[in-house]
A = this chain, B = another copy of it.
Amino acid sequence: MTMSWQTKAEEKRAKQAELIPDSLKLKNPPGEEVLNVVDFPFDSVLSARDMEITNVEDITTLLSKVASGEWSATEVTRAFCNRALVAHQLVNCLTEIFVEQAMERAADLDAFFAEHGKTVGPLHGLPISLKDQIDVAGQEMTMGYVGWLGNVSKNDAVVAERLLSQGAVIYVRTNVPQALMFGEAVNNLFGKTDNPFNRKLTCGGSSGGEGALVALRGSLLGVGSDVGGSIRIPSAFQGLYGLRPSYNRVPYAGTTNSLEGQEAIFSVLGPMSVTLDGLKIFMKAMADSKPWLSDPLALRLPWSESEYALAEHGGGEKLCFAMMWDDGYVKPHPPYKRAMEKTKKALEAAGHTVVDWVPYQTERGCKIINDVFNADGGEDIDTVCALSGEPRMGWVLDPNAKPMSAFEFWAVARAKQLYIKDHLDHWQATASTTGTGRPVDAILAPAGAGAPQEHNKPQYIYYTGMGNLCDYSASVFPVLKVDPFIDVQEPAHEFRSDPDKMVYDLYSNPEVYRGAPIGLQCIGRKNEEEAVIRMTEIIDAALKNL
């Protein structure tokens, strides 16, 4: 008799649970009524040393402590493995767990350090967590599909291999939505991940398990992917820093994905970090590893200190940002308005200018994204679901989408080319309005129209999707948390679209969102990763100085 997909999933989860040693098992896990688990007393389970290490000020400090020999890679790895396993019991954020291999790796790093008196590379001893699509040799790769149980990766994805070559330790993978194609980490195999700030809320997605793990400091730095907002949404929903690099800046070769071969809107890999320094550390280490020698699509783009010093942006002395208060199609929830006002005030206090962004044909852009993602009429997801009989989930892939011909798909890709040309021209034309002689240096925008919502609610994703479509490099940074007394629902406006009404209605009870992190994006042009990181540092400092 064939085993049902439910039974297979149960067995997998049982095997996963066995990987948590008794010493780390929570005897009295917080009950459902405990919404915030960021404040969970990890020291009730972890040693003082584990707490010291995992609460380190930032990644730079951790790396320097390992590089100086003050901390060993072994004890650092042990600390993050331990904390990750505790975090998992709070929010269900992990998929594959490979502590043993990680400890062997850490021991190798320590042996190298002892023998040579130097580090393997700039990431020496840093545990980095991976979204459950980044292949690791010898580990099962399901991407949350029951039907892919038993798939064992033969090779490391190039990104994993590069992280290892730079000295990192890899130890866990993190939860994803089915097919990676919607903004909430839930699938038929591993179930759903909760937002640690408020477990009634979603962690976002698709790199949602990653966001939840990093928020709980089960990892300081994780690798997510983003085809419509999948790094930025969960980073923002968990108060983290994240970066969506442009296509193929970070090597994607050797990973597993949905809609393989869909190249009109490439998915990209990028960092999600609890501290801001993670963005530069990750991107510089990755570029310095010359990924174009292993990934034929990776761009031959070394890290540019000149771009980081904002050579193309007047040296960063007086920047002009454009605030996207509203994309003209779907109005963001009230806390975003407060976050934008706060950020504008902070930037102006720091001597920068903030003008209004004039949205550019949002509905046209939305339609192209929707057409690209649904061009196969669901054949990709249906084929994988059919392997196990598990049902389809999510709200980005349309169950009623009609499959296109290749010729029709080309027409969609062509429509994209024309749209993003117009969008870039629209941006460049702002030069006459900024007072700097340059077009706006970056666009600031909500990370989504909606604050981190309850589980199983749809989202509107064009605030992030615009970056995927236009291939703009874009970060997210945290600004504030929802206060239902301040961030009250506004009177209904004249709705511009169905998603406009949908998003408005989702905020009918602000109390639901209490304590939810709110983040904004800093959006640069294609391949302005270095400049975007530096501008994010400038914005973050301005916010902290406010």
Contacts and interface: CB of A to CB of B under 8 A. Distances in A.
A421 B301 CA distance: 18
Nearest to A416: B261
A140 interface: no
A111 interface: no
A421 B411 CA distance: 27
Interface string A142-172: 0000000000000000000000000000000
Contacts of A413: 261-263
A525 interface: yes
Contacts of A292: 525-527
A351 interface: no
A296 interface: yes
Nearest to A253: B421
A294 B405 CA distance: 31
B407 A408 contact: no
Interface stretch (A64-72, A334-342, A375-383): A375-383
A494 interface: no
Interface string A97-128: 00000000000000000000000000000000
A420 B297 CA distance: 9
Contacts of A262: 410, 413
Interface stretch (A2-10, A189-197, A423-431): A423-431
Nearest to A425: B294
A409 interface: yes
A428 B293 contact: yes
Count of this chain's copies in the oligomeric assembly: 2
Given A404-B405, A406-B404, A406-B406, A417 B261 contact: yes
A264 interface: yes
Interface in A269-296: 292-296
Contact of A376 (B293, B294, B405, B423): B405
B296 A375 contact: no
A441 to B, nearest CB: 13
Contacts of A417: 253, 260-261, 296-297
A376 B527 contact: no
A259 B410 contact: yes
A299 interface: yes
Nearest to A420: B296
A528 B295 CA distance: 15
| Most B Cβ at <10 Å: residue of A375, A403, A409, A423 | A409
Contact of A296 (B254, B259, B404, B470): B470
Contact of A411 (B261, B405, B420): B261
B527 A424 contact: no
Interface in A405-459: 405-417, 420-421, 423-425, 428
A471 interface: yes
B300 A376 contact: no
A379 B375 CA distance: 18
Contacts of A425: 294
Contact of A405 (B260, B293, B403, B412): B403
B263 A421 contact: no
Nearest to A254: B421
Contacts of A301: 299-301
A493 to B, nearest CB: 32
A412 B261 contact: yes
A295 to B, nearest CB: 7
Contacts of A421: 253-254, 295-296
Contacts of A411: 260-261
Contacts of A379: 405, 407
Given A261-B411, A261-B412, A413-B262, A376 B406 contact: yes
B407 A376 contact: yes
A421 B255 CA distance: 12
B300 A526 contact: yes
A79 to B, nearest CB: 36
A425 B161 CA distance: 14
B424 A294 contact: yes
Nearest to A383: B407
Contacts of A423: 296
A527 B300 CA distance: 6
Nearest to A403: B405
A411 B406 CA distance: 11
B294 A414 contact: no
Contacts of A299: 299, 301, 527
Nearest to A292: B526
Given A293-B424, A293-B428, A406-B406, 16 more contacts: A260-B411, A261-B409, A261-B415, A292-B526, A294-B425, A295-B421, A296-B471, A297-B420, A300-B301, A300-B525, A376-B405, A376-B410, A377-B406, A379-B407, A405-B406, A409-B409
Interface of A: 253-254, 259-264, 292-297, 299-301, 375-377, 379-380, 403-417, 420-421, 423-425, 428, 470-471, 525-528
Closest 5 CB pairs of A and B: A261-B414, A261-B410, A261-B413, A406-B409, A376-B407
6 contacts: A253-B417, A296-B423, A300-B525, A301-B301, A375-B406, A406-B406
